[in-house]
Amino acid sequence: MWNANKVANWFLVRHSSEMQRDEAVDENLTQMKLHKLMYYAQGVNLAVFSNRLFDEDLLAWKHGPVVRSVYDRFQGLKELDVTVDDEQLENYEEIANDSNSRMVLEAVYEQYGGFSAGQLRNMTHSEKPWIEARDSGEDSPILDDDTIEQYFKENIVEV
């Protein structure tokens, strides 16, 4: 299981490399989009391997699933700087060396990376894990891993 910020770094590096490779990729990576990509990565990993990809809970906030430490790290930034530093590159390479993690993250980026932040928000708002957590009535409800795993097995991943 990875640290959530290392997974966030993987997405930052991956997006940066995609922008350098393809001029058609003009959308900057927003904090909202990053959180939704992390949600899908956690869900796919739970569905395929029955364990978490990263170590933090997903919270059901107003605009969809959020990882608290990643939110705190980028608080106040709408668009994230895709200038890659050494730590981010090291995190990317470390995760890329794990074939299962790399497979999940690449699949999620390929499947969901082309959607806008707003599209991803709307998608998560229609999915059972977020809806169920929001309906709990708690202040900052946690998306349940079992609910995520089951939902992804039934609706997202062909297992």
Tell me the per-residue pLDDT of 98-134, one tens digit each, with 9 for 90 and over: 999 999 999 999 999 999 999 999 999 999 999 999 9
Q: The pTM is what?
A: 0.92
pLDDT for 27: 64
Q: Domain containing 127: what range?
A: 4-155
The mean of the pLDDT values for the chain is: 91
Count of the separate structural domains present in the chain: 1
pLDDT for 22: 54
pLDDT at 82 over 90: no
Q: Exposure string (b/e) for 14-53, b if CB count within 10 Å is 16 or more?
A: bbbebbeeeeebeeebbbbbbbbbbbbbbbbbbbbeeebb
pLDDT for 29: 87
pLDDT for 144: 96
